[in-house]
Amino acid sequence: MHLFYRVDRPTWAVLAPGESERCRQRLEQLCAANANPSHPRLTTYANVGAKADFAFFLLALGLAELSQMHRDLEACFPPGALSKVFSYLSVTELTEYTTTEEDHRRQLVEQEKLSPESEAFQKRFTELRERTRQYEQYRLYPEMPDWEVMAFYPMSKRRAGADNWYLLDFAARKKLMGGHARVGRKYSGRVSQLITGSIGLDDWEWGVTLMAHQLDALKEIVYEMRFDEVSARYGDFGPFFINMRLAPADLWAHLRL
């Protein structure tokens, strides 16, 4: 779940003495209780660009656990002190376009010219299988790096006229997504990406979370993706939120709370 809130400044201005400090302490305790590499995890950000003040990124194993974390988060704040700007619910999942073992065999024979009976083939096949296993683990139980900048935006595949993604056959969609993924891999080390699914769960079909050390890397990857056919022809995008990673104490100082 991605949550974005604006501080209600008139309400905050009349809080009882010490209540702002107690609110920060409650949030720190909740973050400390959910500070795992993956599920459960709660990270705090300051939104940049005046769309919101607070941004929160929540990961939990199930719907009940996620909902409880959400309510515990809101309970850290005095009633009326926050107003929700945007929220997004999605699930970690394996993409249907994940490379299969048959894809690996075809790559090794047709592209790398290796004989299936050779030792080199078996070594490379084992390497590719392990890479796929690690990728699937990451997609289901993501351990996102705690980098300085986080971007989030929702998106859907277009379903209009001749540009209807869902009328393409599977082979065509998989080929297009393969090219799309190759663009993303160029930014390894500069951008960490997490794509989560939300078809039937929220107003868009996927949520995209990007972590980076510097803002320019986020701008570059999104710009380059625009020229890929998956985005240029079939992509529709929701609002973009840019956020700085700040722990609660730094958030309070930044927002002058």
Taking the domains of the chain in order of start, what are their residue ranges? 2-91+245-255, 94-140
Q: Determine the Cα–Cα distance for residues 240 and 81; give it in Å rounded to an integer.
A: 24
Burial 192-204 (b: 16+ CB within 10 A, else e): bbbbbbbeeebeb
Among candidate residues 5, 45, 88, 153, the one labeled active-site is: 153
Structure tokens at 213: 């050390």
| pLDDT band, residue 168 (cuts 50/70/90) | very high
pLDDT in tens, 99-148: 888 888 988 899 999 999 999 999 999 999 999 999 899 999 999 999 99
Identity (one letter) of the amino acid at 150?
A: M
pLDDT value at 97 more than 90: no
Which of 153-167, 172-186, 228-242 has the least mean pLDDT? 172-186
Between 244 and 178, the higher pLDDT residue: 244
Q: Determine the Cα–Cα distance for residues 242 and 257; give it in Å rounded to an integer.
A: 21
CATH 3.40.50.970 is right for the domain spanning 2-91+245-255: no
Is residue 5 annotated as a catalytic residue, yes or no? no
Cβ neighbours, 10 Å, residue 35:
12
| pLDDT band, residue 184 (cuts 50/70/90) | confident
**What is the SS3 string spanning 135-173?**
HHHHHHCCCCCCCCEEEEEEEEECEECCEEHHHCCHHHH
pLDDT in tens, 49-67: 999 999 999 999 999 999 9
